[in-house]
Every structure is written in C-alpha cells, then in structure tokens.
Structure 1
Amino acid sequence: MTNIEYLKEWIGANPLVWSMIKFLIILIIVLTGIQLVRRYLKRKISNAIIRYKAQKGIEILGYVLLVLLTFTYFSGAIKDFTIIIGLFTAGIAFTLQELILSIAGSIYIFLVQVYKPGDRIEINGIKGDVIDVDSIYTTMMEIGQWVSSDNYSGRIVKLSNAFVFKGPIYNYSKDFPFIWDELELPIRYGSDMDLTKSIIIKIASESLSEYTANSKSEWESVVKKYYIEDAQIDPTLSIKLTDNWIQFNLRYIVDFKKRRFTKYLLYDKIRMEIENTNGKINLASSTIEIIKIPEIKLNLDKNQDL
C-alpha cells in the first residue's frame, strides 16, 4: 500500500480530520480574499480617512463571514461543533489577548483600587493625573516631559489597562497624599552657621506646619495598614561639608500637588531672610581662582630660519 492510499484510507476512517481540512481551506480562502480586497482599496482610494474606514469595514465583514461559515459548516455535527467552538474561542482569546487583558485590568483596578480618577500616578514611564478609567483605557493628563517639575504638558494620554499587570505602578496619592521633598542651599564658609540653621528651621516650621499636621494622622494609618517603619514627619535639616561651601539640606513633607509652589515659597522666604542679615550669611557659588599665569616667551628674531 502506497503512502497516498494509506493517507486516503486514514482520512476516510477519520471524517472529522477531513472536515477540519476542508474548513481550513475555506478559512484560508476567505482570509486571502480579505487581504486582496484591502490591498485593492489601499491602491484605489487616495483619501487616508476613507481608505482606513473602508479597510476596517472589509476586515470586520470578513470576520463576520467567517463566524457565519463556522456555524453553518459545523451545524450538522454536535461533536464537531463543540470542538470547533473550542478552537474558535482559543483563536479569539489569542487574537484579542490585549483587549481581554485590558478588560481584566479594569476589573482589577476597580476591585483592588489600584488608582482612581484624581490620583497622580506613574505607569509605563508616563506620569500624570488620572482623569478617567473605563473598561479598556486609563486616561491621564500628562505632567513633566518637556516642561519642568510637576506641571501639565497639555497632552492627554490614553493607556491600556493591561499595563497594570506588566510593571510597577507609582501612586502619589493613594493612602498617603503627601510626598517627601528636599531643598538644598549652598552657604559660603565664614558665614554664621547657627543663624543659617535657625532661619531655615524657622521658615520651614512656619510654612509647612499645615502639611506636617495633616500628614501625621495619614501616616499613622499607613503604618497600621502596611508593614513599614515609622518615619520622621517634621522638617529635618542636615549639613554636608564640601570643597567649596557648606551644603544645607532641608527634607520636608508636602502635598503631592503643591511640591513646586512650596519649594518656590521656601526659597523666596529664605532668600529674603539672608538678605536681611547684612552680610552675616552669604550664598556660595562655583568660582575658579587663578593662582599664577605661566610666562610665555616669544622669539621674534627675523633672521631665524623658518
């Protein structure tokens, strides 16, 4: 018995296999036809918008035709129909895996409360304020990029909810709507250091008292909810000696949406207080001191051979 005769006998003994082969041939013909029509429309339609809609329409009609052919082809055999429905479902799941992940992500966001409209988050390298969460997309008002600090860039970003399963999510406001920030101040050697410390601490305590008071109760709730060490809420000041100046570092807590304005307020008040010290405190800056200019000798003998 030749291989061809054996194959025919095997196919005859397994009608399901032959049925599946015929269905695959029909599937290939329909998909090929869809691609040929799409390419024809791409060549013949010059308007980009109309061309895109026409191609999408043909694609959708092709898929609808495939579904109808599937139901028609396998309607006579319940066993075959069950098998093909399983294969069809697996194909749909593979094809639409991103959409399915997005829908699952929206359910996860809602149940676990990963974030909600009004929260400031960073996800997939994009930072912004959440302005809407639907079944597929999270919509954010972007901050940063080409603008400094935490200002809006003006771009509205739509991000697939599937990204909640693909990487870290930084939430600036969930459970604890405050962040720690730092301010650095270079002071020249020879300045009144004790006076400098008192000025910085006084201004920080006065300007940040509201944030400090409001954040303490919030932080207590975070410590009770999570396995985390207690942290210093009040403003703290540290000093570092460098080659050029004394570096004052003020660490403080602030509302996550008011970081830029608060830093500006602190700098401005400290500047005015330093100016009122009549030279007791001086801000430092990078300087270059030239110790000696090396002597340069020029030989201007015209008779010397060049």
Structure 2
Amino acid sequence: MRIPYHQFMPVRRKPKGARSSIGVAILALALGVFTLLLKLDMDYDLIPYLDLGLEQPFQDIFLILTVLFFVWFSLRLIGYFIEIAAAPRVGSYGYVRSTWKIISYSIWAIVLSLIFFYSAGGFETAILSIGLIGAALTFVLQKPLLNLMGWIFITYNKMYTIGDRVSIGEVKGYVTDIMAMNTALYEMGGWMQGETFTGRVSLVPNGMIFDMPIYNYTRDSHYIWDEVTNMVTYESDIDMAKKHMLDAAIEVVGDSMQKNHDHYKKHLELHDLDEAIPDRPTLRMALADSGVKISVVYWLPVERRRRIRSEIVERVWRKFSQDSAVEIAYPHMELVKHNPSSEDRKSTE
C-alpha cells in the first residue's frame, strides 16, 4: 500500500507538459478529421470537384491513418483530463500518469493488433506474417526487445512508478517517466555530494533491470533508515558521549518519529517488522582499534535525509566540543621516548 505523496511534497496545480499535450491532441484531431473527410470523399464523393483517384490500397491507408489519428487524439485528451481530475484526489500526479500510461499502452497494443490483422487480409495470413516478422525482429532488434520486456516487468511487478526515488545500477534519482524503451530519472548524486539533485535527466534503458540491482526508496513507505556514527577515545566518558549523540538525534527527529510512528507501521508490506520500528532514536556501540564507535539510528522522510543528517552531525559536534570529558578519536601517531636506567645500560654492555 502506497503513502500519498501530498502528505510530504507540494502538489502541482497544473501537470507538467499540459500545454504540449493539448497542442499535440488538437493537431492529431485536425489531421484525423482531414483524413476522415478524404476517406468519405473517396467512398461517397462528398466534396465536389475533388477526385483523388486513389485505388483501394491507398484508401485502406487513409482508413488506417484515420484510426491512428483518432486514437492518438483520444488518448492525449482523455489522459490530460484524467490527470487534472484524479491527481488532486489521489495526491500524486506521478501515480495517475503512470497508471494512465499502462492503460494507453494497452489500448495501443489492441489497436495496432487489429490494424495488423485487417491489413494482413485474414487470420492465417496474419499468423504466418507474425511468425516471419517475429523471427526477423528477434534477431535484429535484440536490445529494443529486451528494453520492451523490461518495461513489461517494471509495469507488471510494480518495481517502481513515476514519482518513486530509485537507484538503478550507478544512477540514482526520482522517476519522472517510464517509457517503453527507457526510464527517465531526475538525477541525484553524480558530481554532487550526498543525494543533491544535479539538474540532469538520466535515461536508463529498461533492459538494465535484468543485469543491475534496483533499489526503491519509496515503494511501500516514504521513510528510510539512517545512522550517524562517531568514534571517541577510550579515555573519554563513554556514557556522556552516548547521551550527547542520543540527545542530538532526539532534538532533530524525535518529535517526527513519535508523530509518524503508527503511520509508518501501517504502510509496511511486512507487518512482522512492526515491533522493530522504534518511536525514538536508538544507540549502537562497537569497539575499534583506536576508540569506541557510537552510532545513533533513526528513520526519516526520504527527501530530507541529507538535511537531517547534517543537522544531527552539527549538533553532536557542538556538544562534544563543549564537553572536555569527550574526545573524538582520529588517526594520529604518538612517539614515546624511553630513557633506559644505568642498570639497564650495564646489563646491555
């Protein structure tokens, strides 16, 4: 079960690309009407002084173009109005757009199949043509077919949808579009530190899902886990260091975790993990060669990860700096000069 994104992110009042969708739809309608008039004139001579003199094959082409333009116009226009009407109720333009893409692709598959059977002239001829064409395309278009199969897997298994934050191979970002051949990501990371947006849109071939691991940060919930780790020296007051780190995390995310605790558990796919979801930050410890590692673990909204992590680190540093009993461990070397006694010198001689 998905969490509506309007609880965390501002909802756009007007879908992106609305003007272009309407423009394309109007152009398709005009071309479709023009083609339909030509087709009717060839059959019934509706337009005086207009005689194209086209044979039957060309008339069939005009009929197919008419159907294609009509379907194009209908899907564009219906999709535009569905996005406007349904997105405010669902809370996510991305979820509505992703669902409509699946429906529109299915309609296109049915329409193109009917046109193919109509053009082939019969069922047996169409089956034979499909076999011959399929064998040729499988050999020539291996990569495009692999990407198409990837799109089918992504859509059917709901690996990710528009609006999800994902990592595919070495590319990380928000999914802005899922097309038949590739997935568009609003890239994060790259040359930027952490998960800051780079401003680039990356196109990832859908076939990569068969070879690369996919990480979806927002599939079942809008929260992810994170931790901040510091190492203090063995001479430090360990209990005081633990208190400083826990207090810093509680000051930043404590109220948010308590407020959204039940909401987070409600949207987990596996409710066996309910007891493992704390309502406040927790501590972990480990021993290292040069100090004690103290980690504070917490969960937070995915889009605020770097900001919250930075704030916790700053608060921990300030608390450590103000407490002389806590010393941060860092790599260094100490030289100890040993002065042997006179007895040691004699024994050596």
TM-score for both structures, normalised by structure 2: 0.54
Partners of 1:145 and 1:163 in 2: CA distance: 19
**1:186 alignment partner AA:** M
**1:182 alignment partner AA:** E
C-alpha contact (below 8 Å) 2:265/2:271 kept by paired residues:
no
Which residue of the other structure, out of 145, 150, 168, is the alignment partner of 2:195? 150
Residues 76-110 of structure 1: per-residue CA shift (max 9 Å, x gap): xx999975652233212332343334334334433
C-alpha contact (below 8 Å) 1:142/1:153 kept by paired residues:
yes
- Between the two proteins, the alignment pairs up a number of residues equal to 216
C-alpha contact (below 8 Å) 1:192/1:281 kept by paired residues:
yes
Which residue of the other structure, out of 216, 226, 232, is the alignment partner of 2:270? 226
What is the deviation of 1:218? 4.6
Q: Which has the higher helix share?
A: 2
* 1:242-261 matched pairs, under 5 angstroms: 242-261=288-307
1:193 maps to 2:235: no
Tell me the equivalent position of 1:238: 284
1:172 maps to 2:217: yes
Partners of 1:264 and 1:107 in 2: CA distance: 39
Tell me the equivalent position of 2:179: 134
Q: Residues 128 and 82 of structure 1: is their aligned pair in 2 closer, same or farther, counting only changes over 3 Å?
A: closer
Structure showing greater Rg: 1
C-alpha contact (below 8 Å) 2:254/2:281 kept by paired residues:
no
TM-score for both structures, normalised by structure 1: 0.60
**1:148 alignment partner AA:** Q
Partners of 2:129 and 2:313 in 1: CA distance: 70
Unaligned runs of 5+ in 2: 1-119, 340-349
Tell me the equivalent position of 1:62: none
Report sequence identity in percent.
27
Residues 44-95 of structure 1: per-residue CA shift (max 9 Å, x gap): xxxxxxxxxxxxxxxxxxxxxxxxxxxxxxx9xx999975652233212332
CA RMSD after TM alignment = 3.1
Tell me the equivalent position of 2:204: 159
C-alpha contact (below 8 Å) 1:211/1:255 kept by paired residues:
no
Tell me the equivalent position of 2:136: 91
Partners of 1:200 and 1:169 in 2: CA distance: 33
What is the deviation of 1:228? 4.9
Partners of 2:198 and 2:270 in 1: CA distance: 34
C-alpha contact (below 8 Å) 1:211/1:253 kept by paired residues:
no
- Consecutive aligned runs of 4 or more in structure 1 exceeding 6 Å deviation: 78-82
